[in-house]
Structure 1
Amino acid sequence: MAEALAKHAYTGGAHAPAKKATFELFARPTAKTGLIGWLTTVDHKKIGMLYGGFAILFFLIGGLEALLIRTQLIVPNNHFLEAQTYNELFTMHGTTMIFLAVMPLNAAFFNLLIPLQVGARDVAFPRLNSFSLWVWVVGAILLNVGWLSHFVPAWKFGGAPSIGWFGYAPLTSKTFTPQLSTDLWVFGLQVLGLSSIVASLNFIVTIINMRAPGLTMMRLPVFTWMALVTSFLLILALPAIAIALVEVMFDRNFGTNFFEVSGGGQPILWQHLFWVFGHPEVYILILPPMGYVSEILPTFSRKPLFGYPIIVFSGVAIGFIGFGVWSHHMFTTGLGNVATAAFALATMAIAVPTGVKIFNWIGTLWGGQIQTRVPMMFALGFIWMFMLGGFSGIMHSAAPADAQQQDSYFVIAHFHYVLIGGATFALLAAIHYWFPKFFGRMVPEFWGKLSFWLIFVGFNCTFFPMHFLGLNGMPRRTWTYDSNMGWNEGNLFASCGAYLLGLGIFTYFAVLVWSFFKGKVAGNDPWDGRTMEWSIPSPPPEHNFAAIPTVHARDAWWYEKHHQEEIAKEKAEHIKAEESHGGIHMPDQSWYPIIAAFGLLIGTYNMAQMHHPVMMFDREMLSSHLPLAITGLCILVTACYLWSLEGPGGYHLHIAPDGKVTESRGDHH
């Protein structure tokens, strides 16, 4: 048994010998609470909460941007916003919701749940996990810093980016957008990509290498499977957008002509590179929500997930086929009949594994003892809304229909049904479902259900009319419109629906805040869950499991609840084995990840400030920003080097027979 536990050394469970660091510039922080505790934490649960907190903040900011857009369009010939400000708002709304809200909310759940669902004590590389969080924060700052020029005119960023979240060439050229904020957008997305790749590698290693004894791949919870597929998608898709962004940077600052038509460049090259990333990105956003729903439906149907192997295989198939459909975003660019037919067929084909999942979810509900709790209601809302978005997606796969719908409000309705009706509904279900586990409090059912109905009705009132606006010829990215276009009633209805949706979102999060302080205390397993995170206390202790569990069945916690004597004996043996090896080894906190990210912020910000340094030999620009850029990158490299010298360090936890936990430091060989 001791040998079986030993493979979990360092973060997975058994003791790993603590080596003294070769060199430490900063003393290792030991405070686990307070500001220092949060800034230096390597605990996957705290990192997940930080991801979630920042993501919810940007989700609310993105929602406010959307309300300003809908206020501008509520009546014809409106001048509530200037045209340039409107361009900035729809650019940052899309960028924020995709890269700063939905993706990091998924990353929050990856951090919170993956180690618990695989029976590990942390992710494979805890300090790298902290680094990915703070690098993401750097990217978020770079993307949004342009807004400051609206409030502080001396900060000449030129406003927020105004190129659309898709950044189509030639809008990104200096001819059309000379503002510094466009350069910051380019650097910000690159930094966010670095964060995603680092995190994805960490999660892949954790899932494959740190599973508890008995947890075979075909016993993994569906959410963990979807996280694994998503991590591979990120690693394979992000290089395409990284290459495209480097080319934009070179066109803007070094006189190259990748996308400059006057110099022989091809703007359509950007579309290909962008959508080679952009369409897998759709599944990067939607596969984790499919995982949440696959965990929630069995719990509230009181029966195992129907067709588990088929659901897993369908998720893998979606990820695979998702790389072969990018040009359905480009049917109107003149690809030719052969390419158009091929991508149309591939687009129709990808609907098959998605439909299989939906039938499996319905099979899970069929004959179950359904409990209409708040997470279940949001999960059912996800299925319904995602199906509607999928139906209009199938319409887009037909090139003649797509030619009429392209760049119209019909497309806006489609992807909001997929990404709000789909991803966001599932995320709201997941937040409500796992809130008791990580905060130890229940959310009141009445207020949770009220928020659901406000969001459900508001969402449909907002986006369903957009189908008809699009078919009636209203182009997307329209700043204003004339009263004789026939779009008045549809826009008025959509804008009123947007305010109702905003009220529902505000209610949802206000109730969560109230529940955090005043909610009813939750037990360890308030929903009668089936996966391993429900087997430990709420909130989870820093070491997660008193003993690394042995998994006997796919629904591991349901099995344990029916075999308590057997499991109790196993746990006692595991705890005894771990104590004989020095107790539970836990990694130390570290300053270096956040210091490295700070260096990256200083370096990239000042690199973006250096307009055409090679071509123009601007001595003033070089003298003011080049030293700061080099300094920032030196901080990054130095922090990473010192981080590598820290050694494993760490401390040990000892579990007494009565369950009491004590901490000790030093070598335990």
Structure 2
Amino acid sequence: MFPYQALRRQQLMTTINNNNSQEKIVIETHIEHHHQASARDWKRYFSFSTDHKVIGIQYLVTSFFFFLVGGIFAMIIRGELITPESDLVDRTFYNGMFTMHGTIMLFLWTFPSLVGLANYLVPLMIGARDMAFPRLNAAAFWMVPVVGILVMASFFVPSGSAQAGWWSYPPVSLQNPSGDLISGQFLWILAVAISGVSSIMGAVNFVTTIVKMRAPGMTFFRMPAFVWTVFSAQIIQLFGLPALTAGAVMLLFDLTVGTSFFDPAKGGNAVLFQHFFWFYSHPAVYVIILPIFGIFSEIFPVYSRKPLFGYKVVAISSLIIAGVSGLVWVHHMYASGTPGWMRMVFMLSTMCVSVPTGIKVFAWVGTIWGGKLRLNTPMLFALGALIMFVFAGITGIMLSAVPIDIHVNNTYFVVGHFHYVLYGTVTMGMYAALYHWFPKMTGRMYYEGLGQLHFWLAFIGTNLNFLPMHPLGLQGMLRRVSSYDPQYTFWNVIASLGGFLLGMSTLPFILNMVSSWIQGQAAGDNPWRAIGLEWLTTSPPDIENFEEIPLVISEPYGYGKSEPLTANGHVKSE
């Protein structure tokens, strides 16, 4: 245990003995334990709180609810696809479910969950008391339930559900057979526009907080890698999201007031919407994946007891990914009448993304290599997510090449690649983070046995579900269909069984989280013996995190280092 709980107004030096090495981080801080009763009050999670930690958990719980809803839609879809005939649900209903699944998983699970995790951790990691704009932070969260209600209403509205897919391409998204103003498609587009506004508000808040509210001594190259990835992701939001939001508003005008931005029948350009959409929606993949990279960079050093290999290069690579991400969107449009020269340019720019990404993968392998590994639940999920990300990266390089992309365009190969990124990497990485920081958020330990059961069910289910999609796509099976040629039956049966197993894998997770939060063993303030700033405060943290803002005088990731002390007792830093 660290001795800091009993110290006030004196320098704190944390030293962890690990076999023959010492791991040190030195800060000056002042910690008290008042506010603890208030910090554990569950009622605050149902209020308009401006505490970043409360808002973070509100995001996480709300997004996980929608994750379950989207998962139910996915299991029904896989139930339909277990046989070649369309015999489970009506085709119109299937199209609506298909649209809801993609929309919910992206706009109501992945984005909000990662924003919630960043909300909780970033101020703690940089030594701040809260986000820069607490009320704006709260307002951004409360827009998420509104988006969720509108999205669900777009499925159940009597005039007909939204059926144009999560990308909502015109002219399909401009069809309104009922003629009603309040149609499912109208509600869907309105929800996406509101979601965009909420995310822009959050991006302004994160960037301002990271630039302006770091603790004294925390230079950019003393920030944890997770903060670097959140910073890079939110920069992408700021320059990319306005395009999608503007495109959604223009599409809404076409649908409701008769404008003709994207309606070909009135002289509009439907491909223009694809540019608006993908200019943001491919960089959005990096908005999602970058924080997961940050999670890997936090978890691997802790459970390997080694410093993050190449920390500064890993940090800079996040900014490089953010920059290159704005130059790749046309690879989604190779089959949309894109000129040959443009295909070549965007093929090369897409391949370039693999360079900074590969740097990160090598750094994580270098961190793990030769470490004293602890294969508990967070580490297992992080390793599993890394393995599936490498596979997704290989298929991503394949899809960046024009000839292969044209061959498998609109097939299940693309679906398999996408889900290895979105579920195999992002969701598995989120599980790693939730298990790792669960003791910090709740003050209690999860049940390790249930956690490991959850991992193996999820890892096996993910691969059974999404790996068969690759041979299906190479053989020519189209996506977005409810019936198919019987020659594709075998792989679809395997995929559906994997999907059902994946759905069942959430049950031990829910049981673990609920029961542990209610009656789990007390975790103490730092059960992992980690040395990040977030672990040098109480679990759960006090209302304002630190009694006084800490003074940071060393770099992160000092695991296993045995550095000499200076005369004044400070660890030498670069």
Residue identity opposite 2:146 in structure 1:
V
User: Shift of the alpha carbon at 1:518?
Assistant: 2.3
Q: What is the aligned partner in structure 2 of residue 404 from structure 1?
A: 407
- List per-residue Cα deviations over 1:448-500 (Å, max 9, x = no partner): 111100000011001101101111111000111243xx111111110001111
Q: What is the aligned partner in structure 1 of residue 196 from structure 2?
A: 193
Residue identity opposite 1:60 in structure 2:
L
Does the 8 Å CA contact 1:529/1:557 hold for their aligned counterparts? Answer: no
Aligned pair 1:504/2:505, yes or no?
yes
Q: What is the aligned partner in structure 1 of residue 17 from structure 2?
A: none
- List per-residue Cα deviations over 1:632-669 (Å, max 9, x = no partner): xxxxxxxxxxxxxxxxxxxxxxxxxxxxxxxxxxxxxx
Q: What is the aligned partner in structure 2 of residue 494 from structure 1?
A: 495
Aligned pair 1:349/2:357, yes or no?
no
TM-score by length of 1: 0.77
Residues 254 and 326 of structure 1, relative CA distance in 2, 3 Å threshold: same
Q: Distance in 2 between matches of 1:157 and 1:432?
A: 43
User: Shift of the alpha carbon at 1:266?
Assistant: 1.4
Structure 2: runs of 5 or more not aligned = 1-8, 10-28, 31-37
Residue identity opposite 2:540 in structure 1:
P
Listed as ranges, the matches of 1:24-39 within 5 Å are: 33=41, 35=43, 38-39=46-47
Q: What is the aligned partner in structure 2 of residue 456 from structure 1?
A: 459
Listed as ranges, the matches of 1:156-195 within 5 Å are: 156-159=158-161, 161-175=162-176, 180-195=183-198
Q: Distance in 1 between matches of 2:354 and 2:99?
A: 29
Which of 254, 258, 261 is the matching residue for 1:255? 258
**SS in structure 1 at match of 2:312:** helix
Q: What is the aligned partner in structure 2 of residue 374 from structure 1?
A: 377
- List per-residue Cα deviations over 1:97-145 (Å, max 9, x = no partner): 1110011110111110011001011111111111111122212211112
Residues 308 and 564 of structure 1, relative CA distance in 2, 3 Å threshold: closer
User: CA-atom RMSD, angstroms?
Assistant: 2.5
Does the 8 Å CA contact 1:532/1:556 hold for their aligned counterparts? Answer: no
Does the 8 Å CA contact 1:300/1:371 hold for their aligned counterparts? Answer: yes
Residues 87 and 537 of structure 1, relative CA distance in 2, 3 Å threshold: same
Listed as ranges, the matches of 1:70-109 within 5 Å are: 70-109=78-117
Q: What is the aligned partner in structure 1 of residue 332 from structure 2?
A: 329
Does the 8 Å CA contact 1:32/1:41 hold for their aligned counterparts? Answer: no
Residues 190 and 103 of structure 1, relative CA distance in 2, 3 Å threshold: same
Aligned residues: 535
**SS in structure 1 at match of 2:282:** helix
Q: Distance in 2 between matches of 1:135 and 1:428?
A: 24
Q: What is the aligned partner in structure 2 of residue 132 from structure 1?
A: 140
Q: What is the aligned partner in structure 2 of residue 417 from structure 1?
A: 420
Q: What is the aligned partner in structure 1 of residue 288 from structure 2?
A: 285
Which of 286, 294, 298 is the matching residue for 1:295? 298
Q: Distance in 2 between matches of 1:557 and 1:212?
A: 19
Does the 8 Å CA contact 1:140/1:192 hold for their aligned counterparts? Answer: no
Does the 8 Å CA contact 2:306/2:559 hold for their aligned counterparts? Answer: no
- List per-residue Cα deviations over 1:164-212 (Å, max 9, x = no partner): 0000111111356856111111111111111111111111111111111
Q: Distance in 2 between matches of 1:537 and 1:212?
A: 18
Q: Distance in 2 between matches of 1:290 and 1:306?
A: 14
**SS in structure 2 at match of 1:550:** strand
Q: What is the aligned partner in structure 2 of residue 534 from structure 1?
A: 535
Greater CA drift, 449-458 or 242-251: 242-251
- List per-residue Cα deviations over 1:536-584 (Å, max 9, x = no partner): 1111111211221111111278799999999999xxxxxxxxxxxxxxx
Q: Distance in 2 between matches of 1:537 and 1:157?
A: 52
Q: What is the aligned partner in structure 1 of residue 154 from structure 2?
A: 146
**SS in structure 2 at match of 1:259:** coil
Residues 123 and 31 of structure 1, relative CA distance in 2, 3 Å threshold: closer
Aligned pair 1:364/2:364, yes or no?
no
Does the 8 Å CA contact 1:413/1:464 hold for their aligned counterparts? Answer: yes
- List per-residue Cα deviations over 1:265-290 (Å, max 9, x = no partner): 11111111110011111101100111
Residues 331 and 254 of structure 1, relative CA distance in 2, 3 Å threshold: same
Structure 1: runs of 5 or more not aligned = 3-12, 15-29, 150-155, 570-669
**SS in structure 2 at match of 1:507:** helix
Which of 272, 275, 285 is the matching residue for 2:275? 272
- List per-residue Cα deviations over 1:288-321 (Å, max 9, x = no partner): 1110110000000101100011111111111110
Residue identity opposite 2:102 in structure 1:
G
**SS in structure 2 at match of 1:487:** helix
Residues 236 and 345 of structure 1, relative CA distance in 2, 3 Å threshold: same
Q: Distance in 2 between matches of 1:267 and 1:175?
A: 17
Aligned pair 1:47/2:55, yes or no?
yes
Q: Distance in 2 between matches of 1:315 and 1:524?
A: 30
Residues 261 and 63 of structure 1, relative CA distance in 2, 3 Å threshold: same
- List per-residue Cα deviations over 1:596-645 (Å, max 9, x = no partner): xxxxxxxxxxxxxxxxxxxxxxxxxxxxxxxxxxxxxxxxxxxxxxxxxx
User: Shift of the alpha carbon at 1:38?
Assistant: 3.3
**SS in structure 2 at match of 1:333:** coil
- List per-residue Cα deviations over 1:405-448 (Å, max 9, x = no partner): 11100000000011111111110000000000010111122211
Q: Distance in 1 between matches of 2:202 and 2:275?
A: 26
Q: Distance in 2 between matches of 1:338 and 1:215?
A: 46
Aligned pair 1:212/2:221, yes or no?
no
Residues 556 and 325 of structure 1, relative CA distance in 2, 3 Å threshold: closer
Does the 8 Å CA contact 1:168/1:270 hold for their aligned counterparts? Answer: yes
**SS in structure 2 at match of 1:172:** helix
Residue identity opposite 2:98 in structure 1:
F
Q: What is the aligned partner in structure 1 of residue 241 from structure 2?
A: 238
Does the 8 Å CA contact 1:45/1:111 hold for their aligned counterparts? Answer: yes
- List per-residue Cα deviations over 1:51-73 (Å, max 9, x = no partner): 11100001111111100100011
**SS in structure 2 at match of 1:555:** coil
User: Shift of the alpha carbon at 1:215?
Assistant: 0.4
- List per-residue Cα deviations over 1:62-85 (Å, max 9, x = no partner): 111100100011112141111011
- List per-residue Cα deviations over 1:378-407 (Å, max 9, x = no partner): 111111101111101111111111111111
Q: What is the aligned partner in structure 2 of residue 600 from structure 1?
A: none
Q: Distance in 2 between matches of 1:95 and 1:508?
A: 23
Residues 422 and 509 of structure 1, relative CA distance in 2, 3 Å threshold: same
Residue identity opposite 1:63 in structure 2:
G
TM-score by length of 2: 0.89
Does the 8 Å CA contact 1:451/1:507 hold for their aligned counterparts? Answer: yes
Q: What is the aligned partner in structure 2 of residue 65 from structure 1?
A: 73
Structure 1 stretches of at least 4 aligned residues deviating more than 6 Å after TM superposition = 556-569
Q: What is the aligned partner in structure 1 of residue 19 from structure 2?
A: none
Does the 8 Å CA contact 1:531/1:558 hold for their aligned counterparts? Answer: no
User: Shift of the alpha carbon at 1:334?
Assistant: 2.2
Residue identity opposite 2:72 in structure 1:
L
User: Shift of the alpha carbon at 1:335?
Assistant: 1.1
Q: Distance in 1 between matches of 2:259 and 2:193?
A: 19
- List per-residue Cα deviations over 1:318-342 (Å, max 9, x = no partner): 1110110101001112212100100
Does the 8 Å CA contact 2:306/2:560 hold for their aligned counterparts? Answer: no
- List per-residue Cα deviations over 1:342-382 (Å, max 9, x = no partner): 01111111111111110010010112111111101111111
Does the 8 Å CA contact 2:413/2:472 hold for their aligned counterparts? Answer: yes
Does the 8 Å CA contact 2:160/2:178 hold for their aligned counterparts? Answer: no
Q: Distance in 2 between matches of 1:99 and 1:71?
A: 24
Q: Distance in 1 between matches of 2:132 and 2:558?
A: 23
Q: What is the aligned partner in structure 2 of residue 311 from structure 1?
A: 314
Residues 561 and 539 of structure 1, relative CA distance in 2, 3 Å threshold: farther
Residue identity opposite 1:213 in structure 2:
P
Q: What is the aligned partner in structure 2 of residue 607 from structure 1?
A: none
